[in-house]
Structure 1
């Protein structure tokens, strides 16, 4: 047997099994599980042992005190943006009685009703 074929047929699957076992060994203590037991299962029972580990592990508890991104979870506005007009839920920022044209310029309501036609229906079509 040629060495390249031997590496592909024997070495590659063993490398995958070692990687599965290493992942289980490193991840198991974070989940409160026995790392040696799950690493052995992941290595000795090809593929199904690793899948069993993935299904058996517990979810990690979320602790906001340990989360570095959760500190000060309030939304802060940059000093340069204070005092700007807030956008409405549609994101246009248009006020009552104003409509935005396609290029983003604000224009007065053409018919003065304050009811802008969102769908640009032709005249005579009322749904």
Structure 2
């Protein structure tokens, strides 16, 4: 399901924040923001998931698919980050999360505008 992908990702990102990683302040802030956005998206996905598929409009379907895709991209970035973080200057990762943040925010804005989700 669409919701599953993000639900799996939330604790993973949370782990990044509590783990003993030497996170650059900017990266930490980016991850915290990303986490907040994902929780909101997850709530939206759960709502969309409660609508019978034949009553779901195509825009919602598209959005849900985009979110699922994005969650895989984020998961991939997190996995790479975890692999690299042990021998890499943390600064290397700032841009990665910034870019994801932009994509996530844009996607979230789409659904927020449409559904008026606060």
Q: Given the two structures, how large is their TM-score scaled by the length of structure 1?
A: 0.26
Structure number with the bigger relative contact order (C-alpha 8 A, sep ≥ 6) is: 2
- Compare CA radii of gyration and give the structure with the larger one: 1
- Larger relative strand fraction: 1
User: What TM-score do you get using the length of structure 2 for normalisation?
Assistant: 0.27
